[in-house]
């Protein structure tokens, strides 16, 4: 195996492990933080970054530009969904509250 192939393998493993660590950190934050907004912040930020690292690992192993484009689209949609869901969930407790 060439030196460049080994470096690529190491980069893929590092990106995948970092993705898993960020997913784990988001889950721990979801379970440990006291209020809704803190939990949403932890899960949204950490999981979006974790998804980005996993998509990077997959993109480094992709065989075509179309695969990379698919992974990038998945990441962008994941970021969008996380932001919208967190915004809607964070606004929900305020509805109907007494002034």
pLDDT in tens, 51-66: 999 999 999 999 999 9
- Split at pLDDT 50, 70, 90, the class of 93 is low
24-27's contacts with Cβ under 8 Å and 24+ in sequence apart are 25/50, 26/50
Q: How far apart are CA 90 and CA 39, in angstroms?
A: 10
pTM for the complete prediction?
Answer: 0.84
Task: Tell me the C-alpha distance between 34 and 17, whole Å.
Answer: 28
């Amino acid at each position: 195996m060439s030196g460049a192939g080994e470096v690529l393998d190491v980069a893929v493993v590092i990106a995948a492990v970092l993705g898993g660590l960020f997913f784990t950190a988001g889950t721990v934050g979801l379970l440990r933080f006291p209020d809704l907004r803190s939990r949403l912040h932890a899960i949204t930020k950490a999981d979006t970054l974790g998804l980005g690292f996993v998509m990077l690992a997959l993109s480094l192993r992709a065989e075509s530009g179309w695969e990379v484009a698919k992974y990038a689209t998945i990441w962008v949609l994941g970021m969008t969904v996380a932001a919208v869901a967190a915004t809607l969930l964070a606004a929900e407790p305020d509805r109907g509250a007494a002034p």
